[in-house]
Amino acid sequence: MKTTSVRKLLPETWGFLCPVHTPDGTPCGLLNHLAAPCQPVVRIASPEGVIPGLEEELASLGVQLVRSSKTSTANYGAGENAYVTLDGRVLGKVARSRLEAVAEELRRLKIDKDCPGVPADLEIVACQTPASFEGLWLFTGPCRMVRPVRDLATGNEELVGPMEQVFLKIAATREDLEASTKTSSVPENIPMKYTHIELSPISMLSVIAGLTPFSNHNQSPRNMYQCQMLKQTMAIPYLNHPYRTDNKVYKITYPQFPMVRTTVLSEANFDVKPAGTNAIVAVIAHSGFDMEDALIISK
């Protein structure tokens, strides 16, 4: 447990790795689970590595394309120009002053699905920091993770990647948007101009972590423990019990629906095969104020 840097969640993992669903022992931070809205990209946009229509769209936006593989790209990122790459292959160059405008237009085409050459899962990374690989980086290959957020300009959903969201301004809640309209003279409270908003405040959680009701009122270790205990709940492992030949099986005959539920429970169809029963807890104490790990529910 001495090494802590590899166990921390980085900014690009927000919304992709659940910050709650991880063991509390030695594998803490090493064994992670994906967030519920996160989805992998498994398709190949183009087997040849060239998406029809994308290069033409980039050329119409002012990108000077490399017309031949023999063309030298040594000076393409020098001076007033920046690289434009697609899945690691240099497509051309674009003026630094046009870098953000080209990225915004590509993002609009991706959201509106107006151009067939711009796939919906295109990852657009517009880096304008010279010390951090300045350029326009486009990713369309498989084995990537994307997640949906809502674009404030159009109101439509957009799939963003882990490298892409670092350069976006994504609000977590509506309260963040309301606070961004207020002015402040304190540098720490200067409002931020958001471009996107999360679909839900709990979209950063995994399916198991999203089943815990009122998790924002719990201590964070308790939510971690609940993720481990919920997976151990006795439920219905199969539906062909009369025809099985198991020697020993643990199953619950009369499962109950939870009295308090979250929206994730209905979205994940846990009502079809519920697990566990509703616990009835009675708190009895002499005075009510000498309980260490409890609270007064009804006086």
Percent of the chain with pLDDT strictly greater than 70: 84
Average pLDDT (30-38) is 94
- The domain limits of the chain are 45-142
- At 57, is the secondary structure helix, strand, or coil? helix
**Residues 6+ positions from 58 with CB-CB distance below 8 Å:** 65, 84, 91, 92, 102, 106
CA 38 to CA 160: how far, in whole Å?
10
Q: Which CATH class for the 45-142 domain?
A: alpha beta
- pLDDT at position 278: 85
Element (H, E) at 150: strand 144-151
Q: How many CA atoms lie within 13 A of 1 on its CB side?
A: 6
The Cα–Cα gap between 272 and 131 comes to 53
What would the mean pLDDT of 2-18 be, rounded to a whole number? 87
- Residue 190, pLDDT > 90, answer no
pLDDT at position 138 over 60:
yes
Q: What is the pLDDT of residues 238-257, one digit of tens each?
A: 889 889 999 988 888 888 88
**Type of residue at 182:** K
Tokens for 51, please give them: 């998406």
Please write down the HEC assignment for all residues of 73-125.
CCCCCCCCEEEEEECCEEEEEEEHHHHHHHHHHHHHHHHHCCCCCCCCCCEEE
Tell me the C-alpha to C-alpha distance, in Å, between residue 265 and each of 14, 61, 63, 212, 252: 22, 45, 47, 9, 19
Integer Cα distance of 141 and 49 in angstroms = 9
Residue 32 scores a pLDDT above 90: yes
Residue 49 has pLDDT above 60, yes or no: no
Average pLDDT for residues 166-181, to the nearest whole number? 85
